Amino acid sequence: MSTPTGSAHERMMRLLHAPVITQALAVAAELRLADLVAEGPRDVKDLADASGTDPGALHRVLRALAAEGVFTETAAGTFAATPLSDTLRGGADSLRDWARLWGLPERNAALGALRHSVRTGQPSFPHLYGTSWWTHLATHPEQAAIFAGAMGDLSRRLHAATLDAYDLSDVSLVVDVGGGHGHLVAELLRRHPRLRAVLLDQPAVVARAAAVLGPAGVADRAETVGGDFFTAVPPGADVYLMSMILHDWDDERAATLLGAVRRAMRDDSVLLVVDAIVPAGDVPHDGKIRDLIMLTLHPGRERTEAEFAALFAGSGLRLTETREVGASTGLLVARPAD
């Protein structure tokens, strides 16, 4: 990580202005501006016509993003793509839906109420809206689609790459616990042609998995199961996988979930957990920022390696290996303790 430049006041101003850039990115993603400039530079009037926006206002957004390296102004009022803007294009390596997620007003309101969470230790989302984030998504399908797409953005690239740290070549059956619409399963099956998978999530969630597994050409090797993973998990798999699941829950609920997984595991089964592994001290880590999102939205949290080990031990599992793969995720390997 490069050392920040400028005076302390200048650096603090950049930190304070970061939410403005985030909202500009969310707007750019929603309007598909990166796709519009993918083939070459375009005049802002042309972009405004294509996106149904006001040319003057759009120019101000593009100018601000270009100053951050997202887009580049090649001539007065003409903007072109950059490697950063390419990450907001639709496609396999896209972060477009992840950016759109930051534009959801209820989510942003919960983050804006961080002070409530700090004072009470409780998530601010139910304080503001009288319901949980998950129940809110269930009743707002358009936002649920953005959330699912954002998780798909991460699963296809980041989480699947994290699992490359573990050798799956001799594995026959994986159960993805809380696997959503199946983006991670689809990527794993694509990478490992001999692998079979079971996707477990709520019935309404896995009902949409066909739209992911079919086009990926892996539907014949994937089974979907609708159910409650706190209660029962399909038994007898070689590998059980939880990708960004445990951080959604407090220690009590996480232990209940791990207990259900442990009951389903054979003595030689393996549990792979993809999650942030928060380091100690001042080390920069994305998990430390995401932990504040968890604080406002969920009863969950990001955890240290020691906290994961304690969770596993209380559920009849033992942590056997930890791999810090990147600044966003790590891989924890657990096996039955007896």
Domain boundaries, the chain: 8-91, 153-279+297-336
299 close to 128: Cβ distance less than 8 angstroms: no
User: Per this entry, what is the length of the chain?
Assistant: 338
Q: How many CB atoms lie within 10 A of CB 167?
A: 8
Q: Is the pTM of this model over 0.85?
A: yes
What's residue 305's pLDDT?
Answer: 95
Summarised one tens digit per residue, pLDDT across range 106-143 is 999 999 999 999 999 999 999 999 999 999 999 999 99
Residue 97: both structure tokens together: 């839906």
Instruction: Please indicate whether residue 247 is annotated as part of the active site.
Output: yes
Q: How many CB atoms lie within 10 A of CB 1?
A: 6
Residue 48: both structure tokens together: 């405004």
Half-sphere exposure of 267 (CA within 13 A, CB side): 1
CA 188 – CA 170 distance, rounded (Å)? 13
What's residue 164's pLDDT?
Answer: 82
Instruction: Point out which residues pair with 43 in neighbouring strands.
Output: 78
Catalytic one of 192, 247, 285, 298 = 247
Our measurement of the distance from residue 252's CA atom to the centroid of its chain's CA atoms, rounded to an integer in Å, reads: 23
CA 30 – CA 209 distance, rounded (Å)? 23
231 close to 262: Cβ distance less than 8 angstroms: no
Burial of 310 per CB tally in 10 Å (0-12, 13-18, 19+): middle
67 close to 82: Cβ distance less than 8 angstroms: no
Parts of the chain with a pLDDT under 70: 1-4, 92, 327
Q: Show Cβ contacts of residue 176 under 8 Å, excluding neighbours closer than 6 positions.
A: 182, 184, 185, 197, 198, 199, 200, 241, 242, 243
CATH class, 8-91 region: mainly alpha
30 close to 100: Cβ distance less than 8 angstroms: yes
- Can you state the angle between helices 55-67 and 8-30, rounded to 10 degrees? 130
Nearest residue to 102 (alpha-carbon basis) of 255, 290, 285, 320: 290
Q: Which helix (H) or strand (E) holds 88?
A: none
Residue 329: both structure tokens together: 């995720």
Nearest residue to 332 (alpha-carbon basis) of 289, 302, 296: 302
Summarised one tens digit per residue, pLDDT across range 180-210 is 999 889 989 999 999 999 999 999 899 999 9
62, 311, 312 from 306: Cα distances, Å: 44, 9, 10
What's residue 156's pLDDT?
Answer: 72
Helix (H, G, I), strand (E, B), or coil: what is residue 45?
Answer: helix
CA 240 – CA 261 distance, rounded (Å)? 8
How would you list the strands of the sheet with 330-336, edge to edge? 222-226, 196-201, 173-177, 239-243, 270-275, 330-336, 317-324
Domain 153-279+297-336 in CATH 3.40.50.150? The answer is: yes
